Amino acid sequence: MILLKRVLITGANSYVGTNVEKWLMREPDKYYVETLDMKDPNWKNFDFSKFDVVFHVAGIAHLKEKKKNRDLYYKINRDLAIDTAINAKESGIKHFIFMSTMSVYGISEGVITRQTNPTPNTHYGKSKLDAEQQIELLSSLDFCVSVLRPPMIYGYMCTGNYAKLSTLAKKSPIFPQVNNKRSAIFILNFSELVKIIINKKIPGLFYPQNNDFLCSSEYVKLIANFYRKKIILSPLLGNFLKLLKFKIVLKVFGSLVYDKVISEHYLAYCIYDTDKSIVLSEGGIYE
């Protein structure tokens, strides 16, 4: 007999939370999922005790950092996450999964290994790392803590850099040809990893990514092909970009990856390859 896993996703209507919920609910005989709106100040009155696992995704990320919103990052990404973990533990929850970020490393280029020390340089990265460290202190034999540090997550209706590449692929007749490499993960591959972590109750740090690194030029070409649109990849523009060191240029065209050794591919969560992930991301039909 398969026991139903009762999952609470704290962070209603978030991109990741919504997709993970849909992914789990493809198997309603195995999972029961509820989401909790953490913007509601009465969330602490919610009964956590009826769940087996909490997946905490509530947070702010794609908000331009300014002096006036600094405290908001720490209030939501750190303090709210810690309070949620404490509440979960006190309610008898056995497993807590925290959604962190690759940004805790604070670097724009290079290869991140297990020995790379996090040195965040943004309030987003700092607040997430602070939360990680405090939540990990709660870990015990009766309270399993899993921390996910994903790179760019992309998929249908996502925001961020993938959405910008998609827009360029659809509108621009020409794009720089670059040979960069970036870690990224398709939302359904990420959702499958979350499902595996829930099923196996695996503690520790996770560095999820697709089997193949992202190359900005290749992704743009695949997206253009989906729309049967011709796009020219220009080596000249690519060479010009190499001369620019602006942050946004490095973020889109620089190389930043996780060493594949640390990405736990033995868990076999990458069930969609790059080509298929682009088709699903642009077509909006998830199997």
pLDDT in tens, 205-221: 999 999 999 999 999 99
pLDDT band at 97 (very low <50, low <70, confident <90, very high): very high
Q: Is residue 220 part of a domain?
A: no
User: Can you tell me the distance from the alpha carbon of 221 to that of 229, in angstroms, rounded to the nearest whole number?
Assistant: 9
pLDDT in tens, 228-269: 999 999 988 877 776 666 566 666 778 999 999 999 878 899
Q: Is residue 63 part of a domain?
A: yes
How many structural domains are present in the chain?
1
Strands 31-36 and 5-10: parallel
User: Can you tell me the distance from the alpha carbon of 41 to that of 45, in angstroms, rounded to the nearest whole number?
Assistant: 9
Q: Is residue 54 part of a domain?
A: yes
Q: Is residue 66 part of a domain?
A: yes
Q: Is residue 286 part of a domain?
A: no
User: Can you tell me the distance from the alpha carbon of 219 to that of 93, in angstroms, rounded to the nearest whole number?
Assistant: 41
Per the listing, tokens 């789990």 go with 24
Q: Is residue 110 part of a domain?
A: yes
Q: Is residue 261 part of a domain?
A: no
Q: Which domain holds residue 89?
A: 5-149
Q: Is residue 202 part of a domain?
A: no
Choose among 168, 156, 138: nearest CA to 56.
Answer: 138
Averaged pLDDT, 38-61? 93
pLDDT at 46: 95
Give me the CATH number covering residue 12: 3.40.50.720
